[in-house]
């Protein structure tokens, strides 16, 4: 994922892509990406949990890389591509991570789940067969307060297998 | 949410006045007494709910109702499974309406692990009654005599036949209400086909795709956002407030009504900015800090709440102690800790004429209804509280101040209003698990048999106060205190502190007597169910073959609370630099009949890891009435990097009714870990959190059993003056990983995985801290020189979680 130099624009509207669709919103430079998603676009999959990038509940993909959307200012987002948990389906079907979380019941209250799913999706794209240590390291910034980590870990492992099957290769 | 509101809440209407069919459509309603309006008579925890009802619609769908809330504990699916079982329908066919005060039976609240204990029997019964009524209707339609019919897969069939009449066909165009006799027989657990079997949550897809709507996700056209003034410190009193600067401000609604000062605006940021302009003056009173807190709690007993007090005396504990060859006297402590539900407190209020509906994340919707009605001065019948999916509670979301504030603001703004607490507000304006001080004095024979047991809990409450052990001479009691910090329910509440003290003390006694911890427990237990989990856990852990190696330690603890039995074995590793790591937890749990095995397993796993936080590092730090670690960067909770291997063993007792499961698996973790640390290092740690800095102190505690154990000093020295609490601010590049400030326990810095989220240069913003602005305006007076006793802090509801 090459670092994209954000073009400097100052028009009234901010234009970016969210879940593949072009989006135009009024510029509000102080607004965080999380606020833009939740308040302007009514995409509430990303959650407010702490407002300081500690809990991971607001994780989304920004130009393919996972970010804490509460920590991302909208000012530099012209032309950016944002993918939220709502945009992870592949050809209308839940992605491998989502299927694995559902299959293994890897949630309790479910509030952290969107952030967990996005983080795990990013991990598996970068590293299709991560070790447990790699999963723990990549997901350490996502808090599950119900502490369902055992199941989440198992679900990420399982997602790796499902994704391999999707690609038509043995796990 | 059910669309139109009933004229009156159904729990407050006689059955014949409930508009079941107008609201739910044609069909059959089964209801179970008591059906008298209002809360059931009796008080306390029992009876916990007022009757039950369910509706079978003309499309065959089942809609059942309970006043319990789903806050992540999984009872929605577990209760639905129990209903599906009795009605012989697939799980997906059951829609359980929860915690909607207009249409659900009255309920005392979601705490105390009571959902499966109290509600599953009534829902099963009403479902069984509905099944029998459907069979009768099929018989009346000519299918055959009722005795020859059975319900299978949503149909009534002639016994043994492949096909029959679907439920839909039996209730079409019907408006039938049947009253289920209390004696209606339930399907025995041994004959279950749906309950007790693995089940997938039918709503899983909405959860993993971000479609589940939590309280804070709710939205309405024209929605306004609210915020309200709260004291900057505990014990602060509002002496003067001036909202003049906001009068006439476009887009801002201001409410100043007595002590309540709130604003509503077009965005959360605008609301908090407006609140920051409120000119408030507070009178502060001196508040004890962490260094004085133990003395303070001991010196300020509270008079009330006898229901959360217990006292048990048998034999002559003093004389028996004096004669005992093995003696231990020690004090065990547990810090105040925070629930930190991932979703902060939130409420959305909207008015329709003179009636208000508040959707709010609360564990006590019916109590919130009373509070909102009283606060607004309107009839209870005009208030509807609905609890949507909520991002957890853990006992931390009792009551309804946020609901009331949202309702006030919505009334003034003439628009729907949402209040969402910032994380800092959640820490500062919620409440905590009480601090506990437990004084223990134990006498035992040389073989580890207990002969004298004195046990005195200060402040935390009576849960799990009594030992499960057979001791001939006992003096057990607890004393409630005036806590300067607000304290209230928390998952397993005082059972955590009491069981920690008890199981750690027993381990010390075993060690003094030279008896294996397993044998010491076997020698003092006669509860067969507790022995069964003990042996199961020890068997799985290989307890009798365990091999010590340098730095490795094994610890064991059991617990009995709310009908559930738990045994936990912890395996820890203490590195050469004294850093502690819990490698493995083996947890055996028995809670009677298992209704939803995967959910039970999930609860036990989660509770065990959550308890690890309170065992190892969680503590609220405070000084002068102010919480010092009020953010997730300074209050540490368990993360992936803390995760041990967790092995859960469930014992299914189909001959026993289901007991609670959300709480009891918590209570054996801390003592098992403390005992394992002793096993590894010979250092006894008697205060929770055990290793706030991540390391076991070098100096071993003095041998217990001395008249004045130096434990107290030790514990204080370890914790250090509260001023030294790590509170580093995040900042600069280091902050980008989201780790810089979480520094209380050193962790190895590993290379991050590729997926590690990064803020990009130039895209970082300072975290917005709406909560802060509100308090910035507070002018502080010099604290009063005298120390006033703090106000009673919601003591009346403690002991539940």
Q: Model confidence over A32-45: pLDDT tens digits?
A: 999 999 999 999 99
Q: Check residue B47 and give its pLDDT.
A: 56
- B101: tokens are 């005060």
Phi-psi region of A149 (alpha: psi -120 to 50; beta: other; left: phi over 0): alpha
Pairwise CB contact (< 8 Å): B208 & A94: yes
**Chain B interface, mutation test: which of A52, A64, A138, A148, most B Cβ atoms within 10 Å?**
A52
Name which of A64-68, A131-135, B780-784 the model is least confident about. Answer: B780-784
Is B72 in contact with A109 (Cβ distance < 8 A)?
A: yes
Contacts of B71 in chain A (CB under 8 A): 109
CB count in 10 Å sphere of residue A104: 22
Alpha-carbon Rg for chain B in angstroms: 28
State the average pLDDT over residues A6-20.
Answer: 83
Q: Which domains does chain B have, with CATH numbers?
A: 10-197 (3.30.365.10), 215-285+345-420 (3.30.365.10), 293-338+432-698+709-722 (3.30.365.10)
pLDDT at A4: 54
Does the CB of B737 have a partner CB in chain A at under 8 Å? Answer: yes
For chain A, domain boundaries: 13-87, 96-166
What's the pLDDT score for residue A127?
97
Q: What does the pLDDT read at residue B794?
A: 34
User: Does B760 sit within 8 Å of A67, measured CB to CB?
Assistant: yes
Provide the pLDDT for residue A169: 60
Name the pLDDT band for A5 (thresholds 50, 70, 90): low
* Paired tokens of B566: 């738990």
> Which single residue is written with the structure tokens 């506990």?
B436
Give me the phi and psi of B139, to 5 degrees please.
-65, -45
The span from the CA of B353 to the CA of B360, in Å, is 20
A149/B641 CB distance under 8 A: no
Q: How much is the pLDDT for B698?
A: 84
Chain A positions in Cβ-Cβ contact with residue B769 (cut-off 8 Å): 51
Between chains, do A52 and B605 touch, taking CB under 8 Å as contact?
no
Residues B565-620 have pLDDT tens digits of 999 999 999 999 999 999 999 999 999 999 999 999 999 999 999 999 999 999 99
- Domain spanning A13-87: which CATH class is it, in words? alpha beta
* CATH-assigned architecture of domain A96-166: Orthogonal Bundle (1.10)
Identify the weakest region by mean pLDDT among A142-146, A165-169, B166-170.
A165-169
Q: Could you tell me how far CA B289 lies from the centroid of its own chain?
A: 26
Nearest chain B residue to A151 by CA: give it.
B602
Sheet of B52-57, strand order:
B94-98, B62-66, B52-57, B27-32, B175-179
What's the pTM value of the predicted model, to 2 decimals?
Answer: 0.89
Contact B201, B91 (CB under 8 A): no
Nearest CA-CA partner of A146 in B665, B247, B525 = B665
A13-87 and A96-166: same fold?
no
* Cβ within 8 Å of A, B 416-445: 420, 422-423
Structure tokens at B682: 């010979």
Provide the pLDDT for residue B115: 87
Task: Report the chain B residue with the minimal C-alpha distance to residue A147.
Answer: B606
Task: Answer yes or no: do B757 and A56 touch at CB < 8 A.
Answer: yes
Residue B136, phi then psi, degrees to nearest 5: -60, -40
Q: How many Cα neighbours within 13 Å face the side chain of B800? A: 21
Closest CA to B357 of B388, B390, B395: B388
Alpha-carbon span A160 to A135, nearest angstrom: 11
Q: Helix crossing, A132-139 with A149-166: angle to 10°?
A: 110
Alpha-carbon A46 to chain mean position: 8
Tell which residue, B180, B56, B59, has the closest CA to residue B124: B180
Helices (H), B514-555: 517-524, 528-541
Cα dihedral value B749, B754, B757, B758, nearest 10: 80
Comparing CB atoms, the residue among A72, A101, A110 nearest residue B759 is A72
Do B346 and B393 meet the contact criterion of CB atoms below 8 Å apart? no
Q: Closest Cα partner for B85 from B152, B145, B132, B22?
A: B152
CA distance B92 to B202: 6
- Please identify every stretch of chain B with a pLDDT value under 70, giving residue numbers as ranges: 34-50, 304-307, 700-801
Residue ranges of E strands in B201-268 = 224-228, 237-242, 253-257, 260-265
> Which helix (H) or strand (E) segment is B331 a member of?
strand B326-334
A156 in reach of chain B (CB within 8 A) = no
Within B189-251, strands assigned E span 224-228, 237-242
* Local structure of residue B118 (DSSP, 8 states): I
Maximal CA-CA distance, chain A: 50
State yes or no: cis peptide before A155, omega within 30 of 0.
Answer: no
Q: Does B771 touch chain A (CB under 8 A)?
A: no
Question: Which positions 53-112 of A are in contact with B (Cβ < 8 Å)?
Answer: 53-57, 59, 62, 65-68, 70-73, 75-77, 84-86, 88-89, 94, 97-99, 101-103, 105, 107-112
**Nearest 5°: phi and psi at B456?**
-135, 115
β-strand partners of B356: B351, B383
Residue ranges in B237-328 assigned as alpha helix (H):
268-276, 293-299, 317-323
How confident is the model at residue B653, as a pLDDT?
Answer: 97
Q: What's the CA angle centered on B469, arms B464 and B473, to 5 degrees?
A: 100
What's the token pair of residue B790?
């703090």
Instruction: Compute φ and ψ for B605, nearest 5 degrees.
Output: -60, -50
Closest CA to B664 of B611, B602, B599, B593: B611
Mean pLDDT of A7-34: 89
Comparing CB atoms, the residue among A6, A71, A123 nearest residue B764 is: A71
Chain B CB contacts of A70 under 8 Å are: 767
* pLDDT at residue B40 in the model: 61
**ipTM score for this prediction:** 0.95
Q: Does A23 touch chain B (CB under 8 A)?
A: no
**Alpha helices (H) in B389-453, listed in sequence order:** 401-413, 423-429
What are residue B340's phi and psi, to 5 degrees? 50, 55
Indicate yes or no: CB of B340 within 8 angstroms of CB of A145. yes
Q: Which residues have C-beta within 8 Å of that of residue B14, sequence separation ≥ 6?
A: B35, B36, B37
C-beta of residue B583 within 8 angstroms of C-beta of residue B644:
yes
Q: Which of B636, B537, B516, B536 is nearest to B584 (CA)?
A: B537
- Cα separation of B159 and B147, whole Å? 9
Token code pair at residue B524: 């003092």
Could you identify the residue written with the tokens 């991971």?
A: A56
What is residue B619's predicted lDDT score, i.e. its pLDDT?
A: 98
Does the beta carbon of B73 lie under 8 angstroms from any beta carbon of chain A?
A: yes
Q: What is the percentage of chain A residues whose pLDDT exceeds 70?
A: 92
Strand order in the sheet with B645-651: B552-561, B564-574, B580-590, B645-651
> Is B669's Cβ below 8 Å from some Cβ in A?
no
Measured CA distances, A85 to A97, A116, B320 (Å): 11, 9, 64
Residue in chain A nearest B338 by alpha carbon: A145
Which residues 593-612 of B are in CB contact (within 8 Å) with A?
Answer: 598-599, 602-603, 605-610, 612
């Amino acid at each position: 994922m090459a670092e994209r130099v954000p073009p400097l624009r100052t028009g009234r509207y901010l234009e970016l892509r969210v879940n593949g669709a072009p989006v135009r919103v009024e510029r509000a430079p102080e607004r965080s990406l999380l606020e833009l998603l939740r308040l302007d676009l009514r995409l509430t999959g990303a959650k407010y949990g702490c407002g300081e990038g500690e809990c991971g509940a607001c994780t989304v993909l920004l130009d393919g890389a996972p970010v804490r959307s509460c920590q991302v200012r909208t000012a530099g987002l012209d032309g950016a591509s944002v993918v939220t948990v709502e945009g992870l389906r592949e050809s209308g079907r839940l992605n491998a991570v989502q299927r694995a979380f559902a299959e293994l019941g890897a949630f309790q209250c479910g509030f952290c789940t969107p952030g967990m799913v996005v983080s795990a999706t990013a991990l598996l794209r970068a590293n299709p067969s991560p070790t447990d240590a790699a999963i723990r390291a990549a997901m350490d910034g996502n808090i599950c307060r119900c502490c369902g980590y055992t199941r989440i870990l198992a679900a990420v492992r399982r997602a790796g297998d499902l994704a391999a099957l999707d690609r038509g290769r043995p796990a | 949410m059910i669309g139109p509101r009933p004229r009156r809440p159904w729990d407050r209407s006689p059955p014949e006045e409930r508009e079941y069919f107008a609201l739910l459509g044609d069909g059959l309603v089964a209801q179970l007494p008591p059906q008298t309006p209002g809360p059931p008579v009796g008080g306390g925890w029992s009876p916990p709910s007022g009757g039950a009802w369910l509706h079978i619609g003309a499309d065959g769908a089942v809609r059942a109702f309970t006043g319990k809330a789903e806050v992540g504990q999984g009872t929605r699916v577990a209760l639905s499974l129990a209903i599906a079982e009795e009605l012989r329908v697939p799980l997906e066919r059951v829609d359980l309406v929860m915690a909607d005060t207009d249409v659900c039976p009255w309920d005392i609240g979601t705490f105390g692990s009571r959902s499966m204990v109290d509600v599953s029997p009534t829902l099963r019964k009403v479902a069984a009654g509905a099944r029998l009524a459907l069979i009768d209707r099929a018989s009346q339609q000519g299918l055959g005599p009722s005795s020859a019919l059975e319900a299978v897969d949503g149909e009534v069939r002639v016994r043994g036949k492949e096909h029959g009449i679907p439920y839909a066909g039996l209730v079409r165009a019907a408006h039938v209400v049947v009253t289920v006799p209390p004696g209606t027989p339930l399907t025995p657990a041994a004959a279950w086909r749906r309950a007790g079997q693995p089940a997938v949550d039918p709503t899983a897809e909405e959860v993993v795709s971000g479609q589940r709507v939590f309280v804070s996700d709710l939205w309405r056209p024209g929605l306004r956002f609210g915020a309200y003034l709260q004291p900057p410190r505990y014990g602060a009193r509002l002496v003067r407030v001036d909202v003049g600067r906001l009068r006439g401000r476009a887009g801002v609604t201001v409410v100043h009504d007595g002590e309540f000062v709130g604003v509503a605006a077009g965005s959360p940021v605008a609301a908090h900015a407006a609140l920051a302009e409120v000119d408030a003056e507070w009178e502060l009173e001196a508040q004890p800090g962490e260094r004085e807190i133990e003395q303070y709690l001991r010196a300020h007993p509270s008079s009330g709440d006898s229901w959360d007090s217990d006292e048990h005396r048998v034999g002559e504990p003093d004389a028996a102690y004096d004669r005992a060859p093995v003696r231990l006297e020690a004090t065990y402590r547990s810090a105040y800790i925070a629930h930190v539900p991932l979703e902060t407190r939130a409420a959305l209020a909207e008015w329709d004429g003179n009636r208000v509906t508040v959707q709010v994340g609360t564990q006590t919707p019916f109590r919130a209804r009373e509070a909102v009605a009283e606060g607004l001065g309107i009839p209870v019948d005009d208030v509807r509280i609905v609890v949507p999916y909520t991002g957890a509670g853990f006992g931390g979301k009792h009551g309804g101040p946020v609901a009331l504030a949202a309702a006030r603001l919505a009334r003034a703004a003439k628009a729907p209003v949402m209040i969402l607490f910032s994380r800092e507000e959640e820490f500062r304006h919620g409440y905590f698990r009480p601090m506990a001080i437990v004084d223990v004095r134990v006498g035992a024979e040389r073989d580890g048999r207990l002969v004298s047991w004195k046990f005195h809990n200060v402040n935390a409450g009576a849960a799990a106060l009594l030992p499960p052990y057979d001791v001939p001479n006992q003096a057990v009691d607890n004393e409630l205190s005036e806590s300067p910090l607000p304290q209230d329910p928390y998952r397993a509440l005082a059972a955590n502190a009491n069981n920690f003290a008890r199981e750690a003390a027993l381990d010390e006694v075993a060690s003094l007597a030279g008896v294996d911890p397993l044998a010491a427990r076997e020698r003092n237990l006669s509860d067969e169910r507790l022995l069964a989990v003990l042996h199961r856990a020890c068997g799985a852990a290989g307890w009798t073959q365990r091999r010590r190696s340098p730095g490795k330690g094994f610890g064991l603890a059991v617990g009995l609370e709310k009908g559930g039995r738990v045994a936990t074995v912890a395996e820890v590793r203490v590195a050469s630099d004294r850093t502690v790591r819990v490698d493995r937890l083996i947890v055996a749990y028995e809670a009677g009949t298992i209704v939803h095995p995967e959910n039970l397993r999930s609860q036990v796993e989660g509770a065990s890891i959550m308890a690890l936080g309170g065992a190892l590092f969680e503590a609220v730090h405070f000084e002068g009435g102010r919480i010092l670690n009020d953010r997730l960067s300074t209050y540490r909770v368990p993360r992936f990097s803390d995760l041990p291997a967790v092995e859960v063993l469930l014992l299914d007792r189909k001959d026993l009714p289901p007991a609670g499961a959300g709480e009891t698996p918590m209570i054996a973790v801390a003592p098992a870990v403390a005992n394992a640390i002793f096993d590894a290092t010979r250092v006894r740690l008697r205060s929770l959190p055990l290793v706030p800095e991540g390391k076991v102190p070098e100096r071993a505690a003095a041998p217990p059993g001395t008249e004045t154990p130096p434990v107290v000093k030790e514990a204080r020295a370890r914790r250090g003056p509260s001023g030294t609490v790590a509170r580093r601010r995040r900042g600069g590049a280091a902050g980008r990983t989201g780790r810089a400030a979480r520094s209380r326990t050193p962790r190895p810095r590993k290379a991050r995985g590729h997926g590690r989220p990064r803020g990009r240069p130039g895209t970082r913003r300072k975290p917005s801290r709406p909560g802060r602005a509100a308090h910035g305006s507070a002018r502080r007076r010099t604290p009063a020189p005298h120390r006033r006793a703090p106000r009673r802090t919601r003591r009346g509801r403690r002991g539940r979680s």
